[in-house]
Amino acid sequence: MVEISRRQAIEDVASDLFREHGYAATSIRDIARALSVQGASLYAHVTSKEDVLWAIVDRAASRFEAAADRAGREAEARRPGDSAEAVAALVRAHVEVLTGDVDEAGVFVHEWRALGEERRAAILARRDAYETRFRRRIEAGIAVGAFDMTDPAIASTALLSALNGVATWYDPDGRLTAERIADHLVDLALRMLEGRA
């Protein structure tokens, strides 16, 4: 238990530093300093800076996946087959994860490219699978006439890029609550998909 919480503390501090200064500009020594320990003692818990990045990115990816799973199930239970409800639920779940831990989400969105080749490929595959959920939902909405015709691949990428932008500008003490931001983004997403019909 002690080990787990120390590891968690390292990742939390690292998320904060990676988001603030970028992964490249942050050293293991910086992480140690923020934890008020010696750099050497950190190596009892982590083998490399990239390991810490991987832990953060992997956990964030799991959070997004779990939230989308749940959102999909709940939307289907509420309004079976309703495309707008399904997309709204996916958007809301994504924004909730992003704003729930803004450091972790920011690192996930911006710093995954700094991973080594193999881990980078693994995350890319998960990002693709995640995006496919959005694309399939958009395709299904177009097929039943709930959404205006568009290129589903471009629409899903554009939507996810727009949502991920939240990781850059969201401020927990800012003008809008996370919930209100999600409301706005759901509205913009549905306008975009439903079109001028």
Residues that bind its own copies (CB under 8 A): 22-25, 110, 113-114, 148, 150-151, 154-155, 157-165, 168-169, 176, 181, 184-185, 187-188, 191-197
CB of 87 to its own copies, least distance (A): 13
- Amino acid letter for position 75: A
Nearer to its own copies, 9 or 192 (CB): 192
SS (H, E, C) the chain: CHHHHHHHHHHHHHHHHHHHHCCCCCCHHHHHHHCCCCHHHHCCCCCCHHHHHHHHHHHHHHHHHHHHHHHHHHHHHHCCCCHHHHHHHHHHHHHHHHHHCHHHHHHHHHHHHHCCHHHHHHHHHHHHHHHHHHHHHHHHHHHCCCCCCCCHHHHHHHHHHHHHCHHHHCCCCCCCCHHHHHHHHHHHHHHHHHCCC
CB of 128 to its own copies, least distance (A): 10
Nearer to its own copies, 24 or 121 (CB): 24
Nearer to its own copies, 86 or 152 (CB): 152
Nearer to its own copies, 86 or 185 (CB): 185
CB of 2 to its own copies, least distance (A): 32
CB of 155 to its own copies, least distance (A): 6
CB of 113 to its own copies, least distance (A): 5
Nearer to its own copies, 34 or 188 (CB): 188
